[in-house]
Amino acid sequence: MKKVFIFCTTFFLIAVTAFAQPQTREELEKQKQQLKRELVETEKMLNENKSKTKENFVQWKLINDKVNLQDRLIENINNDINLLDRSLSATQRDINKYDRLLDTLKQEYAKSMVYAYKNRSNYDF
């Protein structure tokens, strides 16, 4: 940005000086050469700026892609967590079902032991 400002200031001063004095062929030639140099310098600065802009765009694009990939990874992890939660819930339901079944079997076993004790004389041969 400073280079552009310096270029514009220099160009303005040369232009003012050129119009203020009567010009000879040699002076016009010098001005022409000076203007060509400034034009080349300006073109060079524009190209540098253009390449930096491209680099910045590429960098922005890469960062954006990285963020999108991270979002997809987070979504994948969340899906995995949901799957594990469902599996855990199913396992917990099975545990509860088998606990109830075990309690029922214990009660039936206790009843059959009481029945066997009360009717032990019937089993003697």
Domain enclosing residue 8, as ranges: 2-119
Model confidence at 118, pLDDT cuts 50, 70, 90, reads: confident
Instruction: Report if residue 109 sits inside a domain.
Output: yes
Instruction: Report if residue 125 sits inside a domain.
Output: no
Instruction: Report if residue 17 sits inside a domain.
Output: yes
Q: What angle do CA 46, 48, 51 make, to 5 degrees?
A: 110
* Number of domains observed in the structure of the chain: 1
User: What is the model's pTM?
Assistant: 0.51
Instruction: Report if residue 7 sits inside a domain.
Output: yes
For 35, other C-beta atoms within 10 Å of its C-beta total 14
Amino acid at 124: D
In order, the DSSP letters of 97-125 are HHHHHHHHHHHHHHHHHHHHHHTHHHH--
2-18: b (≥16 Cβ within 10 Å) or e: eeeeeeeeeeeeeeeee
Per-residue pLDDT of 56-107, as tens digits, reads: 888 889 999 999 999 999 999 999 999 999 999 999 999 999 999 999 999 9
| 3-state DSSP of 18-55 | HHHCCCCHHHHHHHHHHHHHHHHHHHHHHHHHHHHHHH
What pLDDT does residue 88 have? 97
